[in-house]
Amino acid sequence: MKVYMMHLIRIIAVPLILISTLLFLDSIVLGKTIYSVRFDYKKATPSSVYFSGKSREEIDRLCKTGEHASTADIAACSQRNFEQISAQLNSTIKPLEAELRKGDVDLKADNNPVALPYFEKGQRAWVQYRDNQCYAETYSLGEASMRYMTFWDCMARITKERISDLKSAED
């Protein structure tokens, strides 16, 4: 029985070890880079961490002129730009939601459907659209060093469009 168990362990363990080793070596042999893996922007370190130790003026100059900027600097500038535009979107949405919430009180009192849940659902759908669109644009580049610049620039562009749409709907 002992010999049988040892033989069974070898039969199972050897392929498992081999598969594990091959999976580990795959990432080394194929030369995986930061540009060849999936990216989750929600887990990205804020650009302020990248620029820590630099003054606002230094960051503004680097991001506006691109002078002496590395690819990582430009990507961080693109991320910073998106973060600022995203903050603008949030400050645009808050008063709209407050207005809808206020209007919903009257609608509800008259037994009419309320608007805020639909606005919130639309905003979630828009975020999903934006994210998917920008991932598609980015991943279509393959392993390009412009990958993160492209992603953050896309996020900023589509978010600016959303702000514009929300403001025009307000008028």
**Between the CA of residue 163 and those of 104, 132, 151, what are the distances in Å?**
23, 18, 18
Mean pLDDT of 113-139: 96
pLDDT (tens digit per residue) in 139-166: 998 877 788 999 999 999 999 999 999 9
Amino acid at 45: T
Direct distance between the N- and C-terminal alpha carbons of the chain, in angstroms, rounded to an integer: 83
Say which amino acid occupies 152. W
The backbone torsions φ and ψ at residue 34, rounded to the nearest 5 degrees and listed phi first, read: -65, -20
Q: Which pLDDT value is given to residue 32?
A: 60
Over the stretch 84-115, which tens digit does the pLDDT of each residue have?
999 999 999 999 999 999 999 999 999 999 99
Residue boundaries of the structural domains of the chain = 1-32, 37-170
Answering whether pTM is above 0.85, one says no
